[in-house]
Amino acid sequence: MERKRRIAILGASGSIGQNAIRVIRAHADELELVAIAGGSRVAPLSEIANEFNVKEVTVFDPPTSKDALKREFPSSTEVSTGMKGLLNIVTRDDIDMVLIAVVGTTALQPCIEAIRSNKQIALASKEILVMAGEFIMPMIREHQTVLLPTDSEHNAIFQCLSGETSSSVEKIIVTASGGRYLDTPLSEFKNISAEEAVKHPNWDMGQKISIDSSTMANKGLEVIEARWLFDLKPEQIEVVIHPQSIIHSMVQYVDGSILAQLSPPNMSFAIQNCLLYPKRKEGIDASLDFTKALSLDFRAPDYARFPCLKLAFDALRIGETAPAIFNAANEVAVAAFIEKQISYLDIPRLIEFTLDKMNILQPTSIEAIILADQEARRISHQWTVS
Ligand code: NAD
Ligand code: MG
């Protein structure tokens, strides 16, 4: 009998993590959850550890002492903390695939170490390739492993590209819901609060990505991630607003044919595609029902409404450290917006300010990108408190 695929999840207690747990639970004959990691919330990790009897748990930033922490988990479960714990998990011999679903770029180093240990990677954390795609994609090839895109748009493109050669691709068309402010008068943008921006009309997601979706910085990050995942030129990437989030993205071939991937706006479809890849098995959620009324609308994005998307395309065209700077400034801006230090309209202003202020360079190593990221964060922080 074929061995089960052994999985580690970084960000197991989050929105992607919880959906992945549902997939693993439903496909227990194919998948085994071996290790999990989370930020600081112990209770959801403890629940997962008990249900799956996982071998190792990392609590990155534990709220209690190590001894008190250990008591929260089964006695057979190894408990680790911090970056050391994450690196330990991703390099374990008894793991085949790592699902990376931590917000931001915290999991950059664990991602690199997992590739070096020849693990298969299912990548939900889009910020990682935005920052370091230039270095990570060659590592995937060098270590002859696979990187499976878990974000719904990239997973859609990945499925539409199946069996095709890259020279036959004219362009990709990345769909975007347009978020909750698609039709809000621009004059009302100055009053938008974080409590409100975090509510997405179609998707149930974590706080940062929900705010990124409302500004379309999320789509900007996805465009940059797609450039690295599928080795495309900036002009081969188009964004189209599709408010229903049913078509998750499309590939247009040189002959004019366009392939699309459709499913309800629910991450379980993309996550299952990655965890079971290349197998297909019964899905865990109901798919579309075409006997019921269904409309699919499209329109071009308006940069006056979504300046963060324009800034992301600018950063992509500039290249070098510009995408990493865009990402770092956006992360600082969203955190400051949540803390009520800056307004909603300040988010793109802060990104633009940081991109203007920074010396954009061709990075020669991942370390050079990390330095640019830190400098961009410092400059952005200063702006939020000035
Ligand atoms: P979330 O806020 O719901 O969950 C984040 C998870 O990361 C939590 O489990 C948290 O405990 C954990 N975490 C935080 N810091 C950590 C650390 N230092 N070490 C280990 N774990 C840590 O976020 P989410 O919505 O699940 O998004 C996760 C990633 O997936 C993001 O990069 C996001 O852009 C991407 N993504 C999410 C969705 C979605 O539908 N939620 C879709 C596409 C892509
Ligand atoms: Mg997405």
> For 235-262, what is the mean pLDDT?
98
Does residue 70 register a pLDDT over 80? yes
Q: What's the pLDDT band for 203 if we cut at 50, 70, 90?
A: confident
The pLDDT assigned to 51 comes to 98
The pLDDT assigned to 21 comes to 98
Compute the distance between CA of residue 210 and CA of residue 218 in angstroms, rounded to an integer: 8
- Residue whose tokens read 């990345």: 174
Best residue among 9, 13, 16, 263 to mutate for probing ligand 1, ranked by most atoms within 8 Å of CB: 16
Q: Report the nearest atom of ligand 1 relative to the CA of 267.
A: 40
> For 135-140, what is the mean pLDDT?
97
The phi and psi torsions of 138 (rounded to 5 degrees) equal -60, -30
Best residue among 22, 42, 84, 205 to mutate for probing ligand 1, ranked by most atoms within 8 Å of CB: 205
For residue 233, give both structure tokens. Answer: 């030129």
The pLDDT assigned to 368 comes to 97
Q: What's the pLDDT band for 76 if we cut at 50, 70, 90?
A: very high
Compute the distance between CA of residue 367 and CA of residue 386 in angstroms, rounded to an integer: 29
Query: Could you say which DSSP state residue 209 is in?
Result: H
Q: What's the pLDDT band for 234 if we cut at 50, 70, 90?
A: very high
Residue 270: what residue type? Answer: A
Rounded-to-5 percentages of helix, strand, coil across the chain: 45, 15, 40
> For 106-111, what is the mean pLDDT?
96
- What lies within 8 Å, CB to CB, of 179 at 6+ separation is 200, 201, 213, 214, 215, 216
Does residue 1 register a pLDDT over 80? no
Best residue among 102, 113, 177, 211 to mutate for probing ligand 1, ranked by most atoms within 8 Å of CB: 102
Q: 234, 236, 238: which is closest to 316 by C-alpha?
A: 234
> For 37-48, what is the mean pLDDT?
97
Q: For residue 58, give the H/E element and its range.
A: strand 56-59
Ligand 2 (ion): residues with CB under 5 Å are 151-153
The pLDDT assigned to 274 comes to 98
For residue 169, give the 3-state DSSP assignment.
strand
Compute the distance between CA of residue 216 and CA of residue 221 in angstroms, rounded to an integer: 9
Task: Quote the ligand 1 centre to 91 CA distance (angstroms).
Answer: 20
Does residue 317 register a pLDDT over 90? yes
DSSP per position, 162-183: TT--GGGEEEEEEEE---TTSS
User: Could you read off the pLDDT of 151-200 as tens digits, one per residue?
Assistant: 999 999 999 999 888 899 999 999 999 999 999 999 999 999 999 999 98
End-to-end CA distance of the chain, in Å? Answer: 63
Q: Is the CB of 206 under 6 A from ligand 1?
A: yes
Compute the distance between CA of residue 49 and CA of residue 348 in angstroms, rounded to an integer: 40
Q: What is the separation of C-alpha 255 from the centre of its chain, rounded to a whole number of angstroms?
A: 31
Does residue 202 register a pLDDT over 90? no
Angle at 330 between CA 130 and CA 8, to 5 degrees: 50
Task: Quote the ligand 1 centre to 252 CA distance (angstroms).
Answer: 31
User: Could you read off the pLDDT of 319-347 as tens digits, one per residue?
Assistant: 999 999 999 999 999 999 999 999 999 99
The pLDDT assigned to 201 comes to 86
Angle between helices 307-318 and 217-229 (to 10 degrees): 30
Residue nearest to atom 15 of ligand 1 (CA): 39
Instruction: Return the exposure string of 90-127: e unless at least 16 CB atoms fall within 10 Å of the residue's CB, then b.
Output: bbbeebbbbbbbbbbbbbbbbbbbbbebebbbbbbbbb
Task: Quote the ligand 1 centre to 15 CA distance (angstroms).
Answer: 7
Angle at 156 between CA 150 and CA 161, to 5 degrees: 115
Compute the distance between CA of residue 346 and CA of residue 385 in angstroms, rounded to an integer: 12
User: Could you read off the pLDDT of 81-97 as tens digits, one per residue?
Assistant: 999 999 999 999 999 99
Does residue 279 register a pLDDT over 90? yes
206 versus 49: which is more confidently predicted?
49
For residue 278, give both structure tokens. Answer: 């290349």
In this structure, the number of other CB atoms found within 10 A of the CB of residue 343 comes to: 15
Sign of CA dihedral 127, 128, 133, 135: positive
The pLDDT assigned to 205 comes to 86
The pLDDT assigned to 222 comes to 98
- Check: CB of residue 120 under 8 Å from CB of residue 150: no
The pLDDT assigned to 166 comes to 86
The pLDDT assigned to 322 comes to 98
